[in-house]
Amino acid sequence: MLAAAAAASPKMRVVSGIEVTSLLAANEFPKGAIVASDITAARVLVAIGTAITDASGAPVLKLTAAISDVATVDGEILAVGGSQLVFASATGKQAGSVKLPATGMRLAAADGDRAVYLYGGAKGAVYRYGAGGAYVDLFRVDEPITALAVSGERVVFAVGGDLFTWKAGEDAVLVARLPDGIVSSLAIDGRAGIVYGSTADIVFAVADGNIVPLIEGVGGDLTVIEGKLTVLQGTRRALLGISGMEKLLGVNARP
């Protein structure tokens, strides 16, 4: 059952049992911001243009090209600026960079793995970048990948409204299909085994091959911080925290 959540948005509808809290007031983020969780430092990083700040606006890192994505691995900051993948410490001190296969690529970091996964561009290619500095071309699909998340050895990705799961040595398998909309963000709670996704106007979970709506009327960039799902709403420029999904979905949420 969906219920109105006027405190968060007059147009937002939330599944009964799901809790939505405002982590930061509206308009804290500029339009077009990219958010990433830094679990090691228990903070949120925000990228806009060529700059990365923390949630309070304090500067962390500055690049020379527009940032298309930012992520953290064991406290280290990784950012894509143009065709470069830049590495920096938690304090923002740059430690190096490497040239990427394409410009404007996006990042996904696996739980408990220092490897970084790269995707995006006109081709549906996924790469794994390891600590040795070498790229591994993992797999390709016929259409552009619109979102991707990794947990352990399992890769979950979206092509438009179709969700697939992939593992080395196996073919990609369709696990769910949205009737409408394009999946623009994915996140995985590795501890609970829950896959989350978002379009422009819905946040959902995947359970037994079904799309389970959590919030309707909003969408955004997803990340999981300390077991809590966060949604950065680009249009409202607010960061929301969502909890209570484990009880709602039970143990059958794994893709």
Complete DSSP assignment for 23-51: EE-TTSS-TT-EEEEETTTTEEEEEETTE
Average pLDDT over residues 70-79: 83
Least Cα distance to 69 among 54, 55, 94, 86 occurs for 86
Question: Which tens digit of pLDDT belongs to each residue from 159-213?
Answer: 999 999 999 889 899 999 998 899 999 998 887 788 999 998 899 998 878 888 8
Least Cα distance to 83 among 100, 96, 70 occurs for 100
Question: Which tens digit of pLDDT belongs to each residue from 30-68?
Answer: 666 776 766 556 677 888 899 998 877 889 999 999 998
Please give the C-alpha separations between residue 60 and each of 10, 51, 63, 93, in angstroms, as whole numbers. 34, 8, 10, 8
Please report the pLDDT score of residue 232 as a whole number: 77
Answer yes or no: pTM beyond 0.75.
yes
The residue behind tokens 């890769």 is: 155
CA atoms within 13 A on the CB side of 221: 27
CA atoms within 13 A on the CB side of 204: 25
Question: Which tens digit of pLDDT belongs to each residue from 201-246?
Answer: 899 998 878 888 888 888 888 888 777 788 877 555 567 788 777 6
Please report the pLDDT score of residue 151 as a whole number: 86
Cβ atoms of 245 and 205 within 8 Å: the answer is: yes
Please report the pLDDT score of residue 236 as a whole number: 55
| Alpha carbon distance 225, 38 (integer Å) | 8
- List the structure tokens of 153: 């050895």
Angle at 176 between CA 16 and CA 108, to 5 degrees: 90
User: What type of residue sits at position 76?
Assistant: E
Cβ atoms of 198 and 231 within 8 Å: the answer is: yes
Question: Which tens digit of pLDDT belongs to each residue from 105-116?
Answer: 898 877 656 678
**Contacts of 145 by beta carbon, 8 Å cutoff, 6+ apart:** 119, 120, 124, 126, 157, 158, 159
The residue behind tokens 């500095």 is: 133
Q: Which domains does the chain have, with CATH numbers?
A: 1-30+146-255 (2.120.10.30), 32-144 (2.120.10.30)
| Alpha carbon distance 99, 134 (integer Å) | 11
Average pLDDT over residues 98-122: 80
Please report the pLDDT score of residue 6 as a whole number: 36
Q: Which residue has the higher pLDDT, 6 or 132?
A: 132
CA atoms within 13 A on the CB side of 70: 30
Question: Which tens digit of pLDDT belongs to each residue from 1-31?
Answer: 334 343 445 467 777 677 777 765 544 556 6
Cβ atoms of 127 and 138 within 8 Å: the answer is: yes
DSSP state letter for 181: S
Please report the pLDDT score of residue 29 as a whole number: 58
Q: Which residue has the higher pLDDT, 99 or 225?
A: 99
